[in-house]
């Protein structure tokens, strides 16, 4: 027991503990507190206190939307916008990014130009836990994205998609499923 106690005392006496705590506070201020004031959002929008936003002046969140814990919503540095409709539900650990890197050979990826494309998420959309939505995607009204899916292409309204890359696996409205199957 005294070994654990002395380990805890060493942690609290170590100046690096306080440097790390300061770095965490700075990150929270930069990625959440400062960014939230730049958001355009409707009434009754809620999100966890550990949601990370970037370039929030290019993010619009529709009324009644909820964003779950540890989600990351990153608009592009200069042009890529993210727009949510009303009453969207994002589970924990959702990542949405309107920016990507080019992948030309002969140059380090992180040194390549950024590709920014808008993301539009319709109303009544549910993004499951650990979903990733990439630049340039439009998700139609009423769509559901299954947990762990990676959305690389547009999702039709009312579709239920899953997988990597995400593909239609079902429809919320059985009548819509019939019309989508008919050529």
68, part of any domain: yes
Q: What was the pLDDT predicted at 182?
A: 46
Question: Cβ–Cβ contacts within 10 Å for residue 5, how many?
Answer: 9
Residue 24 pLDDT > 80: no
Residue 137: name the closest of 62, 84, 78, 61 by CA: 84
Share of the chain above pLDDT 90, in %: 73
Residue 165 pLDDT > 50: yes
Domain with 83 in it = 38-181
Per-residue model confidence as pLDDT tens digits over 118-163: 999 999 999 999 999 999 999 999 999 999 999 999 999 999 999 9
**75 Cβ neighbours under 8 A, 6+ residues apart:** 54, 55, 56, 57, 58, 59, 81, 82, 98, 99
2, part of any domain: no
pTM of the predicted protein model: 0.84
For residues 169 and 22, the model is more confident at: 169
The DSSP call for residue 155 is B
33, part of any domain: no
CATH of the domain at 96: 2.160.10.10
Residue 5 pLDDT > 90: no
Residue 68: name the closest of 56, 50, 44 by CA: 50
158, part of any domain: yes
**Average pLDDT score, the chain:** 90
22, part of any domain: no
Per-residue model confidence as pLDDT tens digits over 95-109: 999 999 999 999 999
Residue 183 pLDDT > 50: no
Residue 44: name the closest of 59, 60, 66, 71 by CA: 66
53, part of any domain: yes
Counted domains in the chain: 1
Identify whether the C-beta of residue 85 lies closer than 8 Å to the C-beta of residue 103: no
109, part of any domain: yes
Mean pLDDT value across residues 57-84: 97
Question: Cβ–Cβ contacts within 10 Å for residue 79, how many?
Answer: 14
Question: Cβ–Cβ contacts within 10 Å for residue 160, how many?
Answer: 19
């Amino acid at each position: 027991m005294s070994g654990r106690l002395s380990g805890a005392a060493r942690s609290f006496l170590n100046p690096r503990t306080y440097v790390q705590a300061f770095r965490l506070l700075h990150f929270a201020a930069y990625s959440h507190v400062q960014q939230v004031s730049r958001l355009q959002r409707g009434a009754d929008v809620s999100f966890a206190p550990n949601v990370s936003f970037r370039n929030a002046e290019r993010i619009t969140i529709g009324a009644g939307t909820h964003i779950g814990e540890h989600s990351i919503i990153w608009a592009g540095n200069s042009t890529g916008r993210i727009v949510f409709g009303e009453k969207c539900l994002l589970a924990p650990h959702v990542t949405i990014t309107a920016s990507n890197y080019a992948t030309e050979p002969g140059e380090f990826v992180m040194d390549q130009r950024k590709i920014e494309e808008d993301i539009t998420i319709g109303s009544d959309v549910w993004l499951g836990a650990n979903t990733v939505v990439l630049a340039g995607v439009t998700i139609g009204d009423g769509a559901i994205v299954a947990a762990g899916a990676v959305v690389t292409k547009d999702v039709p309204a009312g579709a239920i998609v899953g997988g990597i890359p995400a593909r239609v696996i079902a429809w919320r409205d059985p009548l819509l499923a019939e019309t989508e199957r008919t050529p």
